[in-house]
Amino acid sequence: MKAIMNDGVMERLIATLMELRKRESTDLPLLKRQLAETEKGINNMLNAIQAGIFTPSTKQRLDELEETKSQLEVSILQEEIHKPVLTREQVAFFIYRFRKFDVTKREQRQRLIDSFVNAVYLYEDKIILTFNYKDGSKTITLAEVEGSDLSVLGADEECLQ
């Protein structure tokens, strides 16, 4: 919760998420580049036709380019639907709403943990937390846990059964 309440941390997190989002979809930029090349080819064919160069193979090539363009447009729409591009404001809204969580409520604590913690590894002398972001992990010794809220709370009855 300390990290969530820190404006600097939140802004870095939002910036990192936006950067990762740009790098995440490699298909969409490739499809858009192919579409631009196809449209350039169509324009070249139309220029050739306007210049009086019209043969059966010109017509066939133009039809192929038109079909490719149509397929690429559909693929781009499918990719955009499958992986919608979120604005910075949408990401910030999602991240900042964690500030409103009431950590005294078990469901909200669970949602907070599920959102940020990937795994917890418990050893005899330490606990390793891995987070849901690149290279994110933290090692906590049992000495650090003693006296914290964790040692006071103990295990729930559900966990002991």
| pLDDT tens digits, one per residue of 121-131 | 888 887 877 77
Q: CA 157, CA 153: separation in Å to the nearest integer?
A: 11
Q: CA 121, CA 139: separation in Å to the nearest integer?
A: 9
Q: Which of 64, 88, 112 is the last residue of a domain?
A: 88
In a domain, 93, yes or no: no
Q: Which two tokens stand for residue 75?
A: 């693929």
Checking if the pLDDT of 81 tops 80, the result is no
In a domain, 6, yes or no: yes
pTM for this one?
A: 0.44
21-59 burial string, b = 16+ CB within 10 Å, else e?
eeeeeeebeebeebbeebeebbeebeeeeeeeeeeeeee
Domains identified in the chain, total number: 2
Looking at the fold, whether 13 and 81 belong to one and the same domain comes out as yes
pLDDT for the residue 145: 58
In a domain, 161, yes or no: no
- Single out the residue of 99, 92, 97 nearest to residue 1, CA to CA: 99
pLDDT for the residue 96: 83
Structural domain for 131, as ranges = 102-155
Q: Which of 60, 88, 116 is the last residue of a domain?
A: 88
Chain Cα centroid distance, residue 83 = 8
Which residues are within 8 A (CB) of 46 and not within 5 positions of it... i.e. 6 or more apart? 62
Looking at the fold, whether 115 and 151 belong to one and the same domain comes out as yes
Q: What is the mean pLDDT of residues 120-142?
A: 70
Looking at the fold, whether 7 and 69 belong to one and the same domain comes out as yes
Looking at the fold, whether 39 and 69 belong to one and the same domain comes out as yes
